[in-house]
Structure 1
């Protein structure tokens, strides 16, 4: 049977070969931090289950340690409360609410943050503490502060960090408000997604510092952005290559959804193929255009539902080819989405790295191509 050290070394080798792990400092961190202290028991998805079911994989059972040292995300909590040790040997359902993110993504984000010796970093979302441990190994405990919203999750992370020999500053609270004691940081890294960049972050990161955060929304489309802080409350940046997603921060999550009734409305032909929204960037562009909407469906049959106003839009194949859309309510959701998708298509359907973001006291704007190009305001 392979030991933890052997499995950890093998994972470091794989990540290095794949290009996810390049710097010697981060290779050292990945090789030193025992992930099993942070993941412990976890939920594994049950193949073929719809909706996705989960079974608990408990510490010490066959395959447990090998699963931890696979480059995958390990779900550690469902519905903000249920942990693997809370359930019997059965399949359970629920929405993942905490996890140990796949190591290649965690390490890749630390690389992208471009931290240096002596820099102070604020981490939003301690989670299991695995990312925190990697950062503490690289930067030193004194240079890292991490904030966790969930006190149960935060308590478990604190115990795991202590067991691993790390003592960074840990805070239980709303990380979207930043460090409650204030502070001046060189870098900020968020392991949760947000609908917009919280203003306290822009005042706690020094001008010349950087913020790495995933922008998401109520349709759960994600894009990773790296921002340079240009002044108090101001920043500009670009979105990065790849496909990064995180659970949205609980204060930014959408409200509970009542049962949806598809009601009659005004029908017209659609000027874009609704399947464009199934594209990673296409769905994100649609979310920028309709930030209060939830998107459901696939292919030609999409449903947009604005949870603020009750407005609806639904598409379907037209009998003679093309597509139709039915809209109702004060917000013409498909009109907004259609215009945004057409702009994106006219630009050649670039990945998210073709977009940028500007943040100031006047608002937060995502733009396509150049800063004076087509853009969308984030819902602050």
Structure 2
């Protein structure tokens, strides 16, 4: 059974504690943003959420709501520096079940440390007009409203149900920014030009609308993803006018759900049957499966997905065999299967009209030759004609054009 809601003093103490935690971690760096963290009630924005439960069979999601969990426990969880999933399968909320259920997260309240770090990295001034892509729960919208004033904030959310809940929460918290239901990839032209654009979803390339709607000298802050599953890279670009922008990755591994138009298409149910039936050619490779392991060094995985941007990573085993990494470009019907051989060597089997692992291997070897630079040494250049991620020389060996169609 639940208990009565704890008093305001308890929530206030937890907010102050969260601010202290974020300051100690280095995510929270300035007094004005600290005041916002200490003021905005996160519990208002996530009255219900899911806690992840892992077992040997599948991931389950435990609902956390006032009806199911003691008030103090829920409030304490709310003010931990954690990401809490607020929607599964594009429709299911914690209020729709009273038992743990399986599902795919489709909306969340990002861990406050990342939210605040991004807001600090946005480098706002007191009069900055901000376009937020992805309202989500509205918590980050509330923080910006507290810091800048709600009249300077425009936030776009694609999911009407998510937008409605965020609007209610913002109203309860006492903020009234401009909330738009629509495709955030298109921005919001009536409010342009903006001084800052911040996205709480990940994109494969910088949408041209964001560049067009940001004033020259303004900043765009977003995370970039690839379909191989490397943790998103946070990038900040300065708009230079005429559809151009340039910036760099800021380092660290940040995880945001992809903007829906930029998400990888689902692989067909029979893709494994096709892979097992196709005839492959095998060779040894200097780039083994470890480059695909985010725990071994996630920059290499990011480099790999720049080399094969339309490919996806699927790892599975046949019968009692080893777990193998399969790089699959479903559109081209191409596959590369990489395996570790006895000793230190590795082998790859490939099939299809393009040899996917050849592209990955070339990119990785160039990266190794350059001294394996970390992602925060890479830059992003945007023009109306193309977008490029590069290190050293925008037209050199370590440069890749981003896919600009979805």
- With the length of structure 2 as denominator, give the TM-score of the two structures: 0.90
5+ residue gaps, structure 2, are 1-5, 317-321
Q: Deviations over 1:6-29 (max 9, x none)?
A: 111111111112221110000000
Give the Å deviation of 1:297. 2.9
SS, match of residue 66 in structure 1: helix
Q: Distance in 1 between matches of 2:265 and 2:54?
A: 29
Q: Tell me which residue corresponds to 1:186.
A: 195
| Equivalent residues, number | 379
Matched, 1:282 2:305: no
Q: Tell me which residue corresponds to 1:16.
A: 23
Q: Tell me which residue corresponds to 1:205.
A: 214
C-alpha spacing 1:321/1:10, structure 2 compared with 1 (3 Å): closer
SS, match of residue 46 in structure 1: strand
Assess if the C-alpha contact under 8 Å between 1:202 and 1:233 holds in 2.
yes
Computed over aligned residues only, the root mean square deviation of the Cα atoms, in angstroms, reads 1.7
Query: Which is further off, 45-54 or 219-228?
Result: 45-54
Q: Distance in 1 between matches of 2:42 and 2:62?
A: 20
Give the Å deviation of 1:308. 1.4
Q: Tell me which residue corresponds to 1:171.
A: 180
Q: Distance in 2 between matches of 1:331 and 1:87?
A: 46
Query: Which is further off, 256-265 or 4-13?
Result: 256-265
Assess if the C-alpha contact under 8 Å between 1:233 and 1:360 holds in 2.
yes
Superposed, 1:266-281 pairs within 5 Å as 266-278=281-293, 279-281=297-299
* Aligned partner of 2:400 among 362, 376, 380: 376
Query: Which is further off, 342-351 or 165-174?
Result: 342-351
- With the length of structure 1 as denominator, give the TM-score of the two structures: 0.96
Q: Distance in 2 between matches of 1:31 and 1:47?
A: 32
Give the Å deviation of 1:52. 1.7
Give the Å deviation of 1:49. 4.8
Give the Å deviation of 1:50. 4.2
Assess if the C-alpha contact under 8 Å between 2:288 and 2:347 holds in 1.
no
Assess if the C-alpha contact under 8 Å between 1:273 and 1:300 holds in 2.
no
Give the Å deviation of 1:132. 0.3
* Aligned partner of 1:323 among 346, 357, 365: 346
Q: Distance in 1 between matches of 2:395 and 2:265?
A: 33
* Aligned partner of 1:334 among 357, 370, 373: 357
Superposed, 1:16-165 pairs within 5 Å as 16-59=23-66, 61-62=69-70, 63-89=73-99, 91-165=100-174
Q: Distance in 1 between matches of 2:49 and 2:112?
A: 15
SS, match of residue 40 in structure 1: coil
SS, match of residue 196 in structure 1: coil
5+ residue gaps, structure 1, are none
Give the Å deviation of 1:181. 2.3
Assess if the C-alpha contact under 8 Å between 2:288 and 2:338 holds in 1.
no
Assess if the C-alpha contact under 8 Å between 1:121 and 1:144 holds in 2.
yes
Q: Distance in 2 between matches of 1:167 and 1:342?
A: 52
Matched, 1:357 2:357: no
* Aligned partner of 1:291 among 289, 309, 321: 309
Give the Å deviation of 1:348. 2.0
Q: Distance in 2 between matches of 1:296 and 1:51?
A: 17
